[in-house]
Amino acid sequence: MANTGRYISEANHAFSIKGDSDELLEAAKESVKAKDKIILKEILAEMKDRQRNREIKKKPSNKKLNSYIFAVESYVEMLDS
């Protein structure tokens, strides 16, 4: 089993990449504060994977996850500029 724990050292924040959407969004916010693009992009990739998996399994769209993806994409853009 892969290590799912992540640590944003500049923010002194630990989280699980397999945690729920709320935990990932909180970690994304901490990543922005710490200017940690690597962790932020990893969080975004995990969220998009979850979205794709729902589509593949023909499950209904998760509105909360979709809105969080939009927020994290804007965080990535903010750090890239």
Q: Going residue by residue through the chain (81 aa), what tens digit of pLDDT does each one get?
A: 467 888 888 888 899 999 999 999 999 999 999 999 999 999 999 999 999 999 999 999 999 999 999 999 999 999 998
- What pLDDT score was predicted for residue 65? 97
- What pLDDT score was predicted for residue 18? 93
Q: Do residues 46 and 21 make contact, with C-beta atoms less than 8 angstroms apart? A: no
- What pLDDT score was predicted for residue 1? 47
Contacts of 16-21 with CB under 8 Å at 24 or more apart are 17/42, 17/43, 17/46, 18/46, 21/47, 21/50, 21/62, 21/64, 21/65, 21/68
| Domain spans of the chain, in order of start | 5-80
- What pLDDT score was predicted for residue 2? 63
